[in-house]
Structure formats: structure tokens, C-alpha cells
Amino acid sequence: MRKYILHIFLLVTAFSFGQNPMVKAQIETSQIRIGEQFSLRISVNETNDVILPKLELKGLEAIDSARIDTVNNMLIQKYVLTGFDSGAFYIPRQQVFVKNQAYLTDSLLVNVATIAIDTTKVKKFPIKTIKAEPYTIDDFIIYIYILIAALAIIGFWIYWFVIRKRKIEEEEPTYIALKPYDEAIYKLNELDEKLLWQNNKVKEYYSELTEIIRGYIERELKVPALEKTTDEILETLNDFNDAESIDTSKETLKKLKKLLQEADLVKFAKSKPLALEIEEDRKDAELVIHNLKPKQVIADDELE
């Protein structure tokens, strides 16, 4: 009894999943050559609630699929297949669902043949010799780096030992320092040419005038006159005069005192001397520079 029931179950299963007019698979040819394309067509006698399969192939490849078409209440799907290995390959049975009912297509056999080559008709060519590859920039990159480094070293050497040296020599001062007296007289003449007090710049005039005198005293007598006040300068010079270390007169020191005090009044008390007084101070400045000298030391061999 059980044996009959099993046979009935198998028949029902085969009827449900076997060949059915509801679905059908067809190929345009069963014989192709390697790389040749052919079409697979799956048709379903229904257009609603149809789920088509995703092809699962072995030895064959699906390279394209056409748009699903509907003709005479029939749904048609076409696939483009090919094979790149020789042999016999099956397109396995594909499962199609129609209104949640599964149907199987037939399996199809496809033979893929190789292309025969007639070696007697193939033109033979002699064996070619080894061909050298063309040169590229990478073949010369190390030489380029060496050349750049060499040019950089040469350029640095030229700059450091030629251009820089010449530039330093050109920038070195070529003037000769004047003696204190000559420098002071030269600056007094420059001050006259500026016409400062004539253009109501009396304060600037006296500032430069006293700076010239202080600079002369500092260089000639080795006294830091530019840093000292008027009283300190006069006190130092009087001490030098008493010690007979400078060659000057009381009258010269008196004129210097009057000139420096007049300049202080102009600079700090906003005093405005008359033109005659300014000209007199200018003459006194040159007289002080002319008469204020260090004591000349006479050597013993000159006395003899």
C-alpha cells in the first residue's frame, strides 16, 4: 500500500514540476563556436503575477537580456548567451512562478565547438631578434639630478667667491676721514648753506651748531662732549686749561660758554635771538674751533 502511495506522490510531483504548457524554453541553435552568441527564449502563457528566473548557468554566460515583451496574452523574455570554452553544456531547468505556482522549463543542451585552424595555410614568419625598449625620462633621471647638483654647486661658488666678494668691495667706504678741525669747518659751511635761521628755523640751527662744536671737542680733546651738559663741558675744559693740557685762552672758553648757554636758551627756553646775535654766535663758533687745541707735546730729540 505504501509503495502505491509513493508512486502516486512522485507522479503528482512530476506533473507539477515537469514539462508544462504554461512555460517553455527555446534556443535558436544548439551548435555554436567559441565566442559565438545565441538567444534563449522563455515564454509564459500568462502575463499577470509572473516571476521570471535569474539565469544560473555553467560553462555558458549571459551577456544581455532584452526587455520583457507581451504578445497575444503571452509573456516573452529573451537572453543573449555565449560560451568561451569548448564542450557540451546544459542550460538547466529554470523555475518560473506564475501566480505563486512554480513551473520548470526543459533543460537544453548546447555544444560549443572550437575553430579549426589549418596550419598549412598559416603564413610563417622568421623569429625576430630582441628589440631594445625605447629610452624614457626615468632612464636619465639620476644624471639629471647629478647635473642639477653640479650646477647648484658651481652657482654657489661663483656667487660666494666672485659676485659677493665684488659686492663687498664695492660697498666698502672709499672716503678718508677728515681731521677734527677740517671736519668741523666743513660742517659749519654746510650749515650756512642750509639757511635754517633765515627760514625761521632758529632752534634747528642752534642744535646743529652746538652739535658741531661738541663733536669737535669730543674728537680733538677726547672729551665725551656729546653726552655732557653745558656746565659739565665747561668745567672739564677749565680743569684742562688749569692743568695746561689744552692750548687755548680764557677768552676762547668765555665765548664757548656764552655760545652754549645761548643755544640752551633757544632750545629749551624758546629764546629768539636777533639776526646780528646769530651771526655773532656763528663767528664765535668758528673762533672756538680754531683756538681750542690740545697741548702740543715736544719730544726730547726736538729740544736737542
The pLDDT-based confidence of 18 (bands split at 50, 70, 90) is very low
In this predicted structure, the answer to whether residue 149 has a pLDDT above a threshold of 90 is yes
Does residue 270 sit in helix, strand or coil? coil
Q: Give me the residues paired with residue 81 across strands.
A: 38, 62
Instruction: Give the whole-number percent of the chain exceeding pLDDT 70.
Output: 84
* pLDDT on residue 301: 45
* pLDDT on residue 212: 93
The pLDDT-based confidence of 164 (bands split at 50, 70, 90) is confident
The pLDDT-based confidence of 13 (bands split at 50, 70, 90) is very low
Question: What's the mean pLDDT in 72-96?
Answer: 88
* pLDDT on residue 267: 87
| Closest CA relative to residue 93, chosen from 128, 56, 132 | 56
DSSP 162: I
**DSSP-H helix ranges across the chain:** 2-17, 141-158, 164-171, 180-194, 202-221, 230-242, 250-268, 275-291, 300-303
The pLDDT-based confidence of 169 (bands split at 50, 70, 90) is low
Determine the Cα–Cα distance for residues 82 and 89; give it in Å rounded to an integer.
11
Task: Say if pTM beats, i.e. exceeds, 0.85.
Answer: no
* pLDDT on residue 9: 42
pLDDT digits (tens, 9 = 90+) for 233-289: 888 888 888 777 887 888 988 988 998 999 889 888 888 889 899 999 899 999 989
The pLDDT-based confidence of 150 (bands split at 50, 70, 90) is very high
Cβ pair 196, 208 in contact under 8 A: yes
Determine the Cα–Cα distance for residues 163 and 167; give it in Å rounded to an integer.
6
* pLDDT on residue 211: 93
| Closest CA relative to residue 45, chosen from 79, 66, 20 | 20
Determine the Cα–Cα distance for residues 256 and 236; give it in Å rounded to an integer.
13
Q: Residue 224's Cα: distance from chain center in Å?
A: 54
* pLDDT on residue 209: 92
| Closest CA relative to residue 207, chosen from 279, 264, 250, 135 | 264
In this predicted structure, the answer to whether residue 172 has a pLDDT above a threshold of 80 is no
Residues 27, 28, 31, 36, CA torsion sign: negative
Determine the Cα–Cα distance for residues 100 and 46; give it in Å rounded to an integer.
12
DSSP 20: -
* pLDDT on residue 171: 63
* pLDDT on residue 87: 87
Determine the Cα–Cα distance for residues 47 and 24; give it in Å rounded to an integer.
14
Determine the Cα–Cα distance for residues 74 and 72; give it in Å rounded to an integer.
5
pLDDT digits (tens, 9 = 90+) for 25-74: 889 888 999 889 899 888 888 888 888 888 888 888 888 888 888 888 88
Determine the Cα–Cα distance for residues 118 and 127; give it in Å rounded to an integer.
21
pLDDT digits (tens, 9 = 90+) for 176-231: 678 999 999 999 999 999 999 999 999 999 999 999 999 999 888 888 888 888 88
The pLDDT-based confidence of 15 (bands split at 50, 70, 90) is very low
Determine the Cα–Cα distance for residues 192 and 185; give it in Å rounded to an integer.
11
Mean pLDDT of the chain: 82
Cβ pair 43, 74 in contact under 8 A: yes
Does residue 214 sit in helix, strand or coil? helix
